[in-house]
């Protein structure tokens, strides 16, 4: 059995003290309520609730802390197409911004940045503001509904500290361009602004689904990877830059052999032109 721990039951935010978790099970059909999964000497998980889409609520019984359990019994859930479970691959999958545990995947647009590049950006007079993102499984779930408005978007947690909120608000009210690195940052900022009318500090959760017709209030440009068809991410960038403009970029990428997926190529998009 494989259990991918997504978030504590009843919360979208990582908690090292939590022992009841929502997990993606594989193969899920073999796990019914009351079944147990043993991890040798490291502990066991009991299924307490059967959830849809291959998910299960599980209660962990551990002889040590959750962090020790994850370190000893678990491994980083690298995307299956990487096919490389070495320590070097795991380190490469961490972004230059990574500080806090909790995401089920890396915010892949950030993989294009290095410490040296961040220094160059700051030297060019561009202010860098950091958010804490807990990327959720819903970001990567394909759209299976026939219509976008029938797709259920999962929630994701994020945090904005006071200094970051103040910096973004200064840029917004001063009419300076705000550039988001990645679709998760776009969802966090636009979800925050839609709910509060300004960028507000604190721990937040958003289930905002950005699709064509959405009115952006914060982000004016973004860096994002090339995304797969039938994804909410492609819907977001189409809403941001215009469907035909985005499809044109994809035709160019395919013609020139650009790469997709986590370590693929990226594009810089500005908002709303060429719809």
- Per residue in 29-79, pLDDT (tens digit) is 999 999 999 999 999 999 999 998 899 999 999 999 999 999 999 988 888
**Tokens 């499809």 -> residue:** 247
Local structure of 202: helix, strand or coil? strand
How many domains is the chain built from? 2
Domain, as residue range, for 218: 91-270
- Residue 155, in any domain of the structure: yes
| Residue 80 belongs to some domain of the structure | no
Model confidence at 118: pLDDT above 60: yes
Q: What is the mean pLDDT of the chain?
A: 91
Residues 149 and 260 placed together within one structural domain of the fold: yes
pTM: 0.89
56 and 122 together in one domain: no
Residues 118, 160, single domain; the answer is: yes
* Residues 136 and 215 reside in one and the same domain: yes
Q: What would the pLDDT profile of 165-212 be if each residue is shown by its tens digit? A: 999 999 999 999 999 999 999 999 999 999 999 999 999 999 999 999
CATH number of the domain to which 125 belongs: 3.40.1780.10
- 120 and 247, same structural domain? yes
List, for residues 126-164, the tens digit of each pLDDT value. 999 999 999 887 777 777 777 877 777 888 999 999 999
Are residues 103 and 5 in contact, defined by beta-carbon separation less than 8 angstroms? Answer: no
Looking at the structure, do residues 11 and 100 belong to the same domain, yes or no?
A: no
Pinpoint the alpha helices (H) of 74-181. Answer: 87-92, 115-123, 162-173
- In a domain, residue 41? The reply is yes
Please say if the pLDDT value at position 125 is more than 80: yes
Determine the straight-line distance between the first and last CA of the chain, rounded to whole angstroms.
Answer: 47
Residue 86 domain flag: no
Measured between alpha carbons, how far is 251 from 254 in angstroms, rounded to an integer?
5
C-alpha neighbours within 13 Å on the C-beta side of residue 51: 16
Alpha-carbon distance of 215 to 271, in angstroms, equals: 11
CATH at residue 19: 2.40.10.240
């Amino acid at each position: 059995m494989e259990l991918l721990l997504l978030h504590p039951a009843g919360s979208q935010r990582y908690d090292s003290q939590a022992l009841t978790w929502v997990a993606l099970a594989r193969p899920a059909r073999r796990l019914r309520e009351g079944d147990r999964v043993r991890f040798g000497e490291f502990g066991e998980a009991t299924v307490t609730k059967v959830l849809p889409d291959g998910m299960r609520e599980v209660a962990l019984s551990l002889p040590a802390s959750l962090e020790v359990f994850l370190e000893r019994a678990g491994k980083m859930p690298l995307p299956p197409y990487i096919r490389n479970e070495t320590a070097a691959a795991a380190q490469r999958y961490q972004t230059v911004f990574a500080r806090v545990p909790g995401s089920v995947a890396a915010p892949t647009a950030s993989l294009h940045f290095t410490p040296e590049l961040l220094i160059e950006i700051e030297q060019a007079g561009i202010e860098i503001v950091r958010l804490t993102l807990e990327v959720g499984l819903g970001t990567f779930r394909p759209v299976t509904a026939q219509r976008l408005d029938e797709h259920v978007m999962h929630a994701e947690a994020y945090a904005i500290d006071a200094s970051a909120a103040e910096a973004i608000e200064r840029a917004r009210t001063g009419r300076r361009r705000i550039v988001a690195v990645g679709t998760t940052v776009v969802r966090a900022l636009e979800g925050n602004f839609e709910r509060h009318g300004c960028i507000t500090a604190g721990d937040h959760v958003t289930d905002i689904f950005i699709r064509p017709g959405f009115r952006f209030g914060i982000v004016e440009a973004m860096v994002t990877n090339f995304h797969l068809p039938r994804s909410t991410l492609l819907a977001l960038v189409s809403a941001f830059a215009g469907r035909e403009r985005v499809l044109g970029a994809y035709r160019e990428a395919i013609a020139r052999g650009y790469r997709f997926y986590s370590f693929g190529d990226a594009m810089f998009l500005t908002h709303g032109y060429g719809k």
